[in-house]
Amino acid sequence: MNFLDQLPEEKWPQHPFIPREELTGPAFLDTGACLCALQDSPSKDAKNVVWQCIGNQTQGVYKVDTGKWFNALHDSMKIGKAIEDDSNGPETNKTLALVDGKFQEREPNSAQFSVYDRACTGKNHSIFSTAYYRVLEANGTEETPVDILPCWRVGAGPVQIQDVESWSSKGCQDSTPAPFFILWNCVLKIIAGPNNTVNSLPVYCPPVDDCQVSRLLGEVCQIPDTGDYVSMGPFEPRVCQKGYYCPPEANGTEELPCPQGSYCQLGAATPTPCAIGSHCPEMAEFQLFYLPAIILVLVDIILAFAIFVFGYRQRFRQSSSQARIGAFSKGREGMGGVMAKMSGYNALSDDPNDREMQPLDATYISRRPTLGFEAALEPEAGTETDGTEGHKPYETNPQLQAFMDAMRKATEAFDFGLSFRYEDLTFQPKGSPRPILNHVTGSIDRGTLTAVMGGSGGGKSTFVNVLMGKTNHTHGFIAINNKPDKLKRYKKVIGYVPQDDIVLPELTVYENIAHSARVRLPRTWSNRDIDRLVDAVIDCLELSHVCDSLVGSVSKPVISGGQRKRVSIGMELAAAPMAIFLDEPTSGLDASAASSMMRTLKSLAKLGISVIVIIHQPRVETFEMLDNLILLGNGQTIYEGPQETAHEFFENMGFRFPPHTNKADVITDIITGHGREYKPVGDITKEFLIEHWSQYRANLTRDTSRHTLSSAGQGLMHKAIKKRGAYRFKQFWLCLCRAVLQQYRGYWSFWGEMALSLLGGFLLGLAQNSRNGVLFKGTYKTYGMLSTSTDYIAAPQFALLVAIAIGLVSAAPGVKIFSEELLVQNREAEAGHSRVSYFLAKVLCVFPRMVFACLHFSVPLLLLAMPVINWGVAFMANLLYVFCIYGLATIVSMICKREEAPLLSAMLSLILGILSGAAPPLRSVKGWHMEWLWRASPGTWLAEVYFGQLVGPYEYLYNIDTAAGMTGFHLGWLWRNMLILFGIGIGYRVIAFVFLCFGHRLRR
């Protein structure tokens, strides 16, 4: 039983294969599914037999005189009985209409014909006719007429999905077709011909089980062996197959293979040309981007070659320099060196000062020549007894002479030290119940080595910070060269060496010192003058033999700890300071290195530079080198004066210094309140010591004239200070060159990031490869009942994975850009370096790194995932998201400790990726009134770019507006999304810069 058995005949639907009457002569179905029958002519002025074709068979072809009429090929008086007889077919070149009993010629689409009859062509459609004949035969034998079944599923009834008016106006196309796309191909591949006409309108048929499963999986029903798409009934349309295109002019009746050099997506009306550099074979469903992969390989080869060449040139220069030094040494070896090579023993030095083999002389004392700054400790040459005038040691030492000449040129003064006088100096932080410094009064002479000593919490660091102008005092005043003034005016001529050796490990000794000099020296100096001072500082600090060596880090040292300390001091001396403060200069050094360091500082003081050090329990030799002491306790002065009289001062208070003891240790015990061992009876508290000093100082008369500089000298000094420091643009260029050099020196880190980016893109692309680039499926714009399972979430999920992958790959490298050197930057900023120039240079120097990382990520991703998105758009979107992640990592590096920043940055990047609007969907978020939070994340804007570009190309096929409404994304916001991503990246960097200037407390 079929569905027709359940209906009375008068309610049978219009169906070309359902016979309505008994045929009495030749008949067939034409290409418009019209029934054409040969019959006697109803007009006397025409041929004897004519053909009549009607579209609506419910009328009966022998009962009505409507429809189209055609003359028979042969005028005959007889009509054959066989319905298959085609010997006397119609003349289709002339269309006739019966009007008032007479035939009149009409146009095929004349309005006189009904909408059904206008489809008639009079041309035999052999497949239609064969099916019609089989139905007639089945009815005669009482068999089931399977050819009239509207659906392949037994017992299934069709659902008409397009009416006559729609078909007449639009045919087998979308109601608003795109210029180059057609929606449906009404060709049925199984019977190799078009079935849908106005007389056989498109219908929907319930699918068979296998087809139902395919549609639920989002696939079109297809033949398993060939992969060809198949309909579920003779009149059910299907979409144009992938790899083929259906030209609009054929109205869905042709399906042509996609030519080479183009690709055809599902339902394509015209082939889409492949982009330049992509590969599209014949019948391609997508394009493969090979040009970006070729570019990536070439870029990697060029980068590796450039790094190799640059490194080789550096090693060649170093070896050439060492060879010149070796040749110079060999020229001085003499014959002893030649004999040594022949014998295998080391040669004795031919030094003319070597007097080991000379006779002993009671008046002769062998001495090692003094080098560097320590030569300043030599006694003045010439004596009054021999009639010669004494002169300074540096006048006979070319290294010191060059340094002193540069100092005088930088300060425009002969005596270039600074003296400090301070009275009632007080500092009390806001909210603190008591001051850290409390009415400290005293002075520091020009050209002296002064030590600030005291116990923990005694106020040493605060006192030094106030003197340097790093901390503003809340009471009292400070006079520079006996003139009260703002300390900020002297910021450029005051150097500070922190306790830790804060230098850039990726730079050499020379590069660290030279950068400080180029930024801080007078802007009027030429490069030659700057290099001369840098060379003099390196020579005087005895660093010439390691000047081309990397400094290295504390964990991976390259030079010794003492040399690192000297580099740190050299960075300040290269700026020609008039005063230099040092925090624990001997910390972490062995006894020999500490002694050498203090001799260097003593030499600097003797040359006229004011040297102030914070020091704990110095050795005897170190203590005796000090000129003055400032002893603090509870933020107040316990003693301030010459080092030689300090023990006498405490002895007058009843303290006794045991013989053969370090006076510095005894004094430290006393000022920290642990002096009972040295004073068995009496008060030893710090309060007593402070009170005693106050009384003692009241009786002192101090000469302040030694602190005074003439008005002319003061004016010249201020004029010279104003010239200090390079212009900001030059500082930017210097910082940029330094940052690029750092990037080169850390090339292993660079290649590591590139490898992770490549791996991330490869894995993500591999995971999406099975989709063959189809990341969206919606409901068809017409014939929606034939839609497969929709997939609105694939595109946002793809963007989510991209955001997470980029975040995890780029977060840690983004942190490292700043976190590794924030201490260096703080030191430089306090010395007058421009934070803006430094920050902009660091941001700009990593841009090529971001481009390369994005390239390594995007190429394998897009090559394997094959999305329909334009490659340039995808790369730009990925790059902007990398830009945002680097900006976020910059913020984290400004507020977190270096050890914690990478993990926190990765976690925040993961959160931003999750807030991309994929899960939970952005539409749901809008219902929570929380869209602003998601929109604050760059992940949402990245997802919107991908959604628009992955969904938009299917506008010709699917209802993409419905998909946009279901997900909450906008479709036409491509460049708005791009600009907002760029703006977010800029905003992150603005916030990071604010934290760079004011966030140092958060990093403690």
Residues 716 and 812 in one domain: no
457, with CB counted inside 10 A (0-12, 13-18, 19+), is middle
Confidence bin at 634 (pLDDT 50/70/90): confident
What was the pLDDT predicted at 90? 92
Whether 430 maps to a domain, the answer reads yes
Of 473 and 118, the structure prediction assigns the larger pLDDT to 118
**704 CB-contact burial (10 Å; exposed 0-12 / middle 13-18 / buried 19+):** exposed
- Asked whether residue 309 is domain-assigned, the answer is no
3-state SS assignment for residue 907? helix
Opening angle at CA 718, ends 712 and 720, nearest 5: 100
pLDDT at 96 (0 to 100) = 92
670 and 798, same domain (yes or no):
no
Could you tell me the two tokens for 282?
A: 């014949």
Q: What is the pLDDT of residue 617?
A: 80
The pLDDT confidence band at residue 991, using thresholds 50, 70 and 90, is very high
Query: Do 671 and 795 share a domain, yes or no?
Result: no
362 or 852, higher pLDDT = 852
| Tokens, residue 945 | 């770019």
The alpha carbon dihedral of 921, 927, 930, 936 has a sign of positive
Six token digits for residue 555? 């964990």
- Assigned token pair, 377: 């400790």
Residue with tokens 């000022």: 671
**Which of 310-324, 333-347, 868-882, 972-986 has the lowest average pLDDT?**
333-347
Residues 696 and 797 in one domain: no
CA angle 936, 938, 943 (to 5 degrees): 115
pLDDT at 798: 93
Instruction: Tell whether the model's pLDDT for residue 180 goes beyond 50.
Output: no
pLDDT score for 556:
80
Tell me if 51 sits within 8 A of 154, measured CB to CB.
no
* pLDDT greater than 80 at residue 352: no
- Over 70: is that where the pLDDT of 192 sits? no
Q: How far apart are CA 658 and CA 518, in angstroms?
A: 51
Domain boundary among 148, 173, 196: 148
Of all residues in the chain, what percent carry a pLDDT higher than 70?
85
- Contact status, residue 605 vs residue 611, Cβ threshold 8 Å: yes
pLDDT tens digits, one per residue of 925-971: 888 889 899 999 999 999 999 999 999 888 888 888 888 889 899 99
Q: How many CB atoms lie within 10 A of CB 739?
A: 20
> Do residues 269 and 250 lie in contact, with contact meaning Cβ atoms separated by under 8 Å?
no
Burial class (CB in 10 A: 0-12, 13-18, 19+), 139: middle
The pLDDT tens digits of the residues spanning 53-81 come to 999 888 888 889 899 999 988 877 677 77
Mean pLDDT check: name the lowest of 592-601, 757-766, 849-858, 883-892: 592-601
Q: Provide mean pLDDT across the span 311-323.
A: 65
Domain membership of residue 863 (yes or no) is: yes
The answer to whether residues 685 and 752 belong to one domain is no
The band of 706, judged by pLDDT with boundaries at 50, 70 and 90, is: low
The CA R_g of the chain, rounded to the nearest whole Å, is 48
Asked whether the predicted pLDDT for residue 390 surpasses 60, the reply is no
pLDDT of residue 721: 80
Whether residue 690 sits in one domain with residue 752: no
Average pLDDT over residues 272-292: 84
Question: Which pLDDT does position 791 carry in this prediction?
Answer: 86
User: Alpha helices of 607-680 — where are they, by DSSP H?
Assistant: 620-625, 646-651, 663-671
Is 696 in contact with 649 (CB distance < 8 Å)? yes
Q: What is the pLDDT of residue 380?
A: 59
* Domain presence at residue 528: yes
Using alpha carbons, list the distances in angstroms from residue 68 to 39, 77, 111, 640, 804. 13, 21, 12, 125, 67
Regarding whether 814 and 704 lie in a shared domain, the answer is no
Average pLDDT, the chain: 82
Rounded Cα distance between 72 and 69, Å, is 10
Instruction: Please indicate whether residue 25 or residue 344 has the higher confidence score (pLDDT).
Output: 25
3-class SS of residue 420: strand
> Measuring CA to CA, how many Å separate 708 from each of 87, 445, 581, 703?
132, 10, 21, 10
Q: What is the band of 329 on the pLDDT scale with cuts at 50, 70, 90? A: very low
**pLDDT number for residue 254:** 79
Once rounded to an integer, what is the mean pLDDT over residues 97-106?
90
Average pLDDT rounded to a whole number, residues 338-347: 40
Looking at the structure of the chain, the number of domains it has is 3
716 and 775 part of one domain = no
Residue whose token pair is 């030279």: 514
| Distances from the Cα of 627 to the Cα of 480, 498, 601, 970, angstroms | 19, 21, 11, 75
pLDDT at 612: 92
Report the pLDDT value the prediction gives residue 805, as an integer from 0 to 100: 94
Q: What is the pTM of this model?
A: 0.81
- Express each pLDDT in 230-242 by its tens digit: 888 878 888 888 8
Q: What is the C-alpha separation between 203 and 695, in angstroms, rounded? A: 112
Cα–Cα distance for residue pair 284/957, rounded to 1 Å: 19
State in Å, rounded, how far the first CA of the chain is from the last one: 87
Domain with 85 in it: 3-148
Rounded CA separation 974/296 (Å): 26
Continuous segment of H or E residues that includes residue 858: helix 847-865
CB atoms within 10 A of CB 848: 13
Cis amide bond preceding 867, omega within 30: no
C-alpha to C-alpha distance for 587 and 787, rounded to whole angstroms: 77
Ranges 47-56, 284-293, 317-326, 986-995: which has the least confidence: 317-326
CA distance 250 to 888: 55
CA distance 824 to 463: 22
Q: Are strands 579-583 and 494-497 parallel, antiparallel or unpaired?
A: parallel
Same domain, 135 and 31: yes
- 32 and 114 belong to one structural domain: yes
Q: Are residues 709 and 758 in the same domain?
A: no
Which tokens go with 991?
């916030």
CA distance 220 to 229: 7
CA angle in degrees (0–180, nearest 5) for 231-237-240? 90
Query: Above 70 in pLDDT, residue 385?
Result: no
In the block, which residue shows the tokens 């002193």?
A: 404
**Whether residue 413 has pLDDT greater than 70:** no
The domain boundary residue, chosen from 90, 123, 148: 148
CATH number, domain containing residue 577: 3.40.50.300
**Does 495 fall in a domain?**
yes
State the number of CA atoms in the 13 A half-sphere of 3 facing the CB.
18
DSSP result, 393-415: GGGS-HHHHHHHHHHHHHHTSSS
Q: Cα separation of 860 and 835, whole Å?
A: 39
Give the rounded percent of residues in the chain with a pLDDT score beyond 90: 23
Distance CA 775, CA 422 (A): 74
Residue type, 836: V
Question: Which two structure tokens, joined as six digits, stand for 618?
Answer: 């110095």
Q: Do 577 and 504 share a structural domain? A: yes
Asked, for residue 288, whether it belongs to a domain, the answer is no
Mean of pLDDT values over 608-636: 89
955 inside domain: no
pLDDT the model gives residue 1000? 63
Asked which of 722, 756, 771 is the last residue of a domain, the reply is 722
770 part of a folded domain: yes
Task: Give pLDDT tens digits for 545-593.
Answer: 888 888 888 778 888 888 888 899 999 989 888 899 998 888 877 888 8
CA 902 centroid distance within chain: 14
pLDDT class for 174, splitting at 50, 70, 90?
A: very low
- Record the tokens describing residue 924, joined without a space: 């749901």
Q: Which of 120-134, 328-342, 841-855 has the lowest mean pLDDT?
A: 328-342
pLDDT at 30: 92
Question: Is the confidence at residue 196, as pLDDT, over 50?
Answer: yes
